[in-house]
Structure 1
Amino acid sequence: MAANFLSIGDTVLFLIILLPCIYLFVFAWAAARKENKYPQTAHKHRYAILIPIGTDICEQEYPQELYDLYHYETLSETVHALDPEKYEMAVILGQGSSVPPFLLSSINEVYDAEITAIQLHHIIEPRPTRKLRYQAITEEVNQTIFRQGHIQMGLSSGCSSMDMAVELRWLQENLKSPKSNLAHKLLQQNIFIEYLSQVSVSSPTAHTLSHTVSRRKALSTALEAAIIGQWSYADKLFQRLIPSWKTLLIIIAVLAVATTSYNLFAAVKWWMLLLWLLFTISLAIPDYLIEDKKKRRNPKPVKI
């Protein structure tokens, strides 16, 4: 009797944990598909680039009279001080950001296609320590799955409310304070968030995806959002309800070891699920981080 109860509980638990693993795999696989490209446009829009005090960026390959640089201490105050008649879009960058010279040109192509919210690709650079390399891998896995993978499946990109471009009028109406969750408001209003993986913004620290919605609220709101067709918002709320891929790795590994100790046959499915999740994560790690790791392991010999 006890053995049957244990077997049923093991199967139910496996099916529950299998669901988020399938979710992660689908988006990691989708991220490998060919990206959409926006056509070049002759129409040049006006931009305000907002960067923290003490940070500077390179000159842009864009008409200088069509963009201005503003240093901010409090982002919301600087945003509300901008003239919406002068600028159409605000580009928000974080501390220590380094951007390519084609940043505005790439954003302009997307904005001219009537996309009003754009998330940029953030990378950690330099990565001199093991901790920073681990953070870089973690952030890239999240960006591959929750940004690139989602875009390829027709859903909005995940958003960190930093290293992004947003239409200025909307930003002034919705950025009420430093605690305002821009990602939540964009999705709640059914505004599509594009992701530009080819436009990399580097900084020495990690940026996290914004998750300020409580699990209780996510549970009560997700079904309603799906029913009224807010698919990206419902997806965002679902993400809040499932464990992170790092937590899943720990849970599945512990269950695999524990199950092996009393039922080797039942443990097979857990070990297979663990391998599948590791394969999913490997799909989401970009080549440049793998190449960087190889270079560190095999440094070039120094000629004397």
Structure 2
Amino acid sequence: MTLYTILDNIDSLCFFLLGTSVLYLFVFALLSHIKRKDIYPAAGKLHRFVILYPAYKEDRVIENAISNFLEQDYPKSCYDVVVISDQMQDDTINRLKSMPVTLMEVHFQQSSKAKAMQYAIENLDKNTYDMVVIMDADNTVEPNFLHELNKAYHSGCLVIQAHRMAKNLNTDTAILDAVSEEINNSIFRKGHVRLGLSAALIGSGMAIDFQWFKKNIFKLQTAGEDKELEALLLKENIFIEYLEHVNVYDEKTQKDSTFYNQRRRWLASQLFAIKNNIGKLPGALFDGKFDYANKICQWMMLPRVLLLGFIGIISIIVLLYQWTWAIKWFILELLLVITLSLAVPDYLVNEQFKKAVWKAPKLFLLMTLNLFRLKGVNKKFIHTEHGENNK
């Protein structure tokens, strides 16, 4: 076999693998533009919710988030707000104690969101609630948030992911972080639900049937609790609904260093999810658990920033060796750009966005560096700083 033949085979294999990922993204980006017609009717019953706020060193943002949530137009007697305070300052704790919330103080040797939620469930009345809502300490919502969740739950939805969107667009990194999340919303939530597949969980702004949650929360072991929850749910064929009209406002990463650490944690949790579930792919297909099989395939794909960067680099390398091979690579790169453009909502496309796009190559380099610094990351909690100051 000649060197030319070997390189041709490698080129074809790489194109097939990356091309499959791009085609997958393109199909769901298109599907996300189908307008949803069904809406959930008014509920005949007011279900009880418990809202969990795991708060690790969140002194800067937690009070504002709690004050905002307490403005719900849902009856106060039908929901309880629980703050799990881990290593917050005494002044913050004292102010929280004056608010109508349940405050649980914990002191974990190795903190994690999963441990905070497990502690809360251990110390709550197991028969009081219908749904548990998981929030980040900086999340804010609109007054009708619980009413919308209640309608969906009353109609039979056991798991609901709300539309998490940017609270701030004050730096180039924050803009790109917001764009990235909205692309995920379009492809992995709106597009998937349009085809009858489950939406991806984000980690906050999600509501889960309380009885299921209390039985399964203690199975979580890593910092990638959202992916662990997804796997557990989809193994049981439990559908994850996405309510795109129910907004949860989330503070976006403002600094490159925070972006780097956040993505490092996400990559580690994704690799852990692949390792733990890839062997179950044949069984999921055989048992007709297509949602679960689809999720495993989804985890196996490169993040969009890496996909965009690697295809671009391969295109240039191939062009230098054999320009006829490069044509398909440049077409694939163009298709990916079109896909991402389809997935970005109009409200984010402005002059500020066009300026921020020039920072994408730097974020690609940071993501690439992350690939070599993942060892042990999924076993420890990497705190995302909220309320950070710009630099």
Q: TM-score, normalised by structure 1?
A: 0.89
Structure 1, unmatched stretches of 5+, are: 298-304
Q: What is the CA distance between 1:112 and its match in structure 2?
A: 0.7
Q: 2: distance between equivalents of 1:182 and 1:6?
A: 41
1:275 alignment counterpart: 334
Give runs of aligned pairs for residues 33-182 of structure 1, distance below 5 A: 33-35=34-36, 36-52=38-54, 54=62, 55-56=65-66, 57-58=68-69, 59-73=71-85, 74-176=116-218, 179=222, 181-182=228-229
1:200 alignment counterpart: 247
1:235 alignment counterpart: 294
Q: 1: distance between equivalents of 2:279 and 2:117?
A: 31
Q: 2: distance between equivalents of 1:296 and 1:105?
A: 39
How many residues matched? Answer: 297
Q: 1: distance between equivalents of 2:73 and 2:221?
A: 31
Stretch deviating more after TM superposition (128-137 or 9-18): 9-18
Q: 2: distance between equivalents of 1:233 and 1:295?
A: 37
Q: 1: distance between equivalents of 2:178 and 2:167?
A: 8
1:301 alignment counterpart: none
Q: 2: distance between equivalents of 1:243 and 1:70?
A: 36
Q: Is 1:191 the equivalent of 2:238?
A: yes
Q: 1: distance between equivalents of 2:351 and 2:211?
A: 41
CA contact (8 A) 1:117 1:164 kept: yes
Structure 2, unmatched stretches of 5+, are: 56-61, 86-115, 254-261, 357-391
CA contact (8 A) 1:160 1:183 kept: no
SS in 1 for 2:349: helix
Look up the equivalent residue of 1:146 and give its one-letter code: F
If each structure's helix is expressed as a fraction of its own residues, which one has the higher value?
2
Q: 2: distance between equivalents of 1:218 and 1:258?
A: 34
Q: What is the CA distance between 1:127 and its match in structure 2?
A: 1.8
**What is the root-mean-square deviation in Å for CA atoms of aligned residues?**
2.3
CA contact (8 A) 1:76 1:178 kept: no
Stretch deviating more after TM superposition (129-138 or 80-89): 80-89
Post-superposition CA distance 1:83-134 (Å, at most 9, x none): 2432111111111111011101110111011111111111221121111111
Q: Sequence identity, in percent?
A: 31
Post-superposition CA distance 1:142-201 (Å, at most 9, x none): 221111111111111111332211111111111115745222211122111111111111
Say which of 287, 292, 298 aligns to 2:346.
287
Q: What is the CA distance between 1:15 and its match in structure 2?
A: 2.0
Q: What is the CA distance between 1:80 and its match in structure 2?
A: 2.8
Q: 2: distance between equivalents of 1:292 and 1:254?
A: 27
Q: What is the CA distance between 1:82 and its match in structure 2?
A: 2.3
